[in-house]
Amino acid sequence: MARFRRYRSGSGRVVFLLVLAVCGFFILSSMQDKYGYDFGLPSLSLPGMEELLDELEAPSPDRPISSQVVERADLKVHFLDVGQAESILILAPEKTVLIDAGENDQGDLVVRYLKEQGVSSIDLLIGTHPHSDHIGGMDIVLNKMPVETVILPILPDDLIPTTVTFTDLLKAIDRAGLEITPALPGDVYDLGGGAGLTLLGPVRDYDNLNNMSVVARLSFGSTSFLFTGDMEKEAEQDLVEQGAPLASTVLSAGHHGSQTSSRKAFLEAVNPKLAVISCGLDNSYGHPHREVMERLDALGIRVLRTDLDGAVVLASDGENIEIQVAQNRIAA
Ligand SMILES: [Zn+2]
């Protein structure tokens, strides 16, 4: 055993000296190349090394809206990957907000995601408009998690759905002992720590449910986020004409990137640095539409998509917004 140890020890010494010699060679050789010294060593050239160093020194492409890393993420906005649907979680300093909850079969997925984020109750649950890809999972959320306030748009009588999805939601709201709080433009919800959610729309009745979507602007310090549900061009135009405070750092692009929405005048009024599109991979609608992607590109707005990037998490410290997670798919 002793001999074996000695042998290993000797071998270790040889390896150590060898490593030292190789390191010395590399250091001297690179000094020779860099500073023109001549140590009589062959020139060191590793294929791809220059490119690798350039890459390491280049600013990370993941932080177009912030040159700095957010150190204290006091507010986070999660755009869940729920396929061709929408669900957005806001973790504000003192309140938790869930905007939409995916399709009918995604309620459990949304609840699981929320629990993974340490969420055990919801302060504000907002259903942007009663289509199944937005409110489908809300009944499950209400059944499985305490909710303080439910906000829905007030609909004109002829648009009130008779679908099972909507009826299920009303039943779940009732079972939870809650009343519906109507979405009224101008209402401000204090989320603590200087964060606030201001409702901007819908500003009038429309003849389609998409335009009845609740529009909400989240502000935190000098950063802001605009959530638009499936709002289309008519409602966008009304907000622009009324001079609504649309300007936001991040836009949740309306109607899954459909060309019915994200018109040029609206995009210019919002003037976001980043747009997030919630849509499903290879969805049958062709969302996001090419026209919208071209408009966003022409205005220099970076795009993140849940179909390609998976769940998108944006963190704000009130000054900078950092893209913390992309490519972390939670749903097929
Ligand atoms: Zn939708």
d(CA 41, CA 43): 6
Q: How close is the Cα of 153 to the center of ligand 1, in Å?
A: 15
pLDDT at 65 over 70: no
Q: How close is the Cα of 26 to the center of ligand 1, in Å?
A: 58
Evaluate whether the domain defined by 75-325 bears CATH number 3.30.420.10: no
Q: How close is the Cα of 320 to the center of ligand 1, in Å?
A: 29
Exposed, middle or buried, 205 (CB in 10 Å: 0-12/13-18/19+)?
middle
Structure tokens at 308: 């390609």
pLDDT band at 41 (very low <50, low <70, confident <90, very high): very low
Q: How close is the Cα of 85 to the center of ligand 1, in Å?
A: 6
**117-121, 133-137, 270-274, 307-311: range with lowest mean pLDDT:** 307-311
**18-27, 146-155, 194-203: range with lowest mean pLDDT:** 18-27
CB 184 within 8 A of CB 199: yes
**16-25, 45-54, 81-90, 153-162: range with lowest mean pLDDT:** 45-54
pLDDT tens string 103-133: 999 999 999 999 999 999 999 999 999 999 9
Mean pLDDT confidence for 290-297: 97
d(CA 172, CA 79): 24
Q: How close is the Cα of 131 to the center of ligand 1, in Å?
A: 7
Q: How close is the Cα of 41 to the center of ligand 1, in Å?
A: 66
If one compares 101 and 2, the residue with the highest pLDDT of the two is: 101
Which of 100, 121, 88, 96 shows the shortest CA–CA distance to 191?
96
pLDDT at 303 over 70: yes
CB 65 within 8 A of CB 321: yes
Q: How close is the Cα of 135 to the center of ligand 1, in Å?
A: 9
Q: How close is the Cα of 96 to the center of ligand 1, in Å?
A: 22
pLDDT at 25 over 50: no
pLDDT band at 324 (very low <50, low <70, confident <90, very high): confident
Q: How close is the Cα of 319 to the center of ligand 1, in Å?
A: 31
Report the mean per-residue pLDDT for the chain: 84
Which strands make up the sheet holding 302-305, listed edge to edge?
Answer: 188-192, 195-201, 215-220, 223-227, 250-252, 274-277, 302-305
- Residue in the structure block whose two tokens are 């929320």: 114
- Residue in the structure block whose two tokens are 């590399």: 26
- Cα–Cα distances (Å) from 230 to 109, 124, 260, 294, in that order, read 22, 19, 9, 19
The DSSP bridge partners found for residue 165 are none
Give the alpha-carbon dihedral of 318, 322, 327, 331, to 10 degrees. Answer: 0
Mean pLDDT confidence for 309-314: 92
Q: How close is the Cα of 35 to the center of ligand 1, in Å?
A: 61
pLDDT tens string 175-215: 999 999 999 999 999 999 999 999 999 999 999 999 999 99
If one compares 41 and 252, the residue with the highest pLDDT of the two is: 252
pLDDT band at 71 (very low <50, low <70, confident <90, very high): low
Total residues found in the chain within this entry: 332
CB 121 within 8 A of CB 145: yes
pLDDT score, position 54: 41
Q: How close is the Cα of 228 to the center of ligand 1, in Å?
A: 10
pLDDT band at 7 (very low <50, low <70, confident <90, very high): very low
Mean pLDDT confidence for 272-278: 96
> Where do the domains of the chain lie?
2-57, 75-325
Q: How close is the Cα of 332 to the center of ligand 1, in Å?
A: 18
SS (H, E, C) 59-101: CCCCCCCCCCCCCCCCEEEEECCCCCCCCEEEECCCCEEEECC
Share of the chain above pLDDT 90, in %: 74
pLDDT at 280 over 70: yes
Share of the chain above pLDDT 70, in %: 76
Q: How close is the Cα of 19 to the center of ligand 1, in Å?
A: 60
Q: How many CA atoms lie less than 13 Å away from 317 in the CB half-sphere?
A: 13
Q: How close is the Cα of 310 to the center of ligand 1, in Å?
A: 17
Q: How close is the Cα of 254 to the center of ligand 1, in Å?
A: 8
Q: How close is the Cα of 227 to the center of ligand 1, in Å?
A: 12
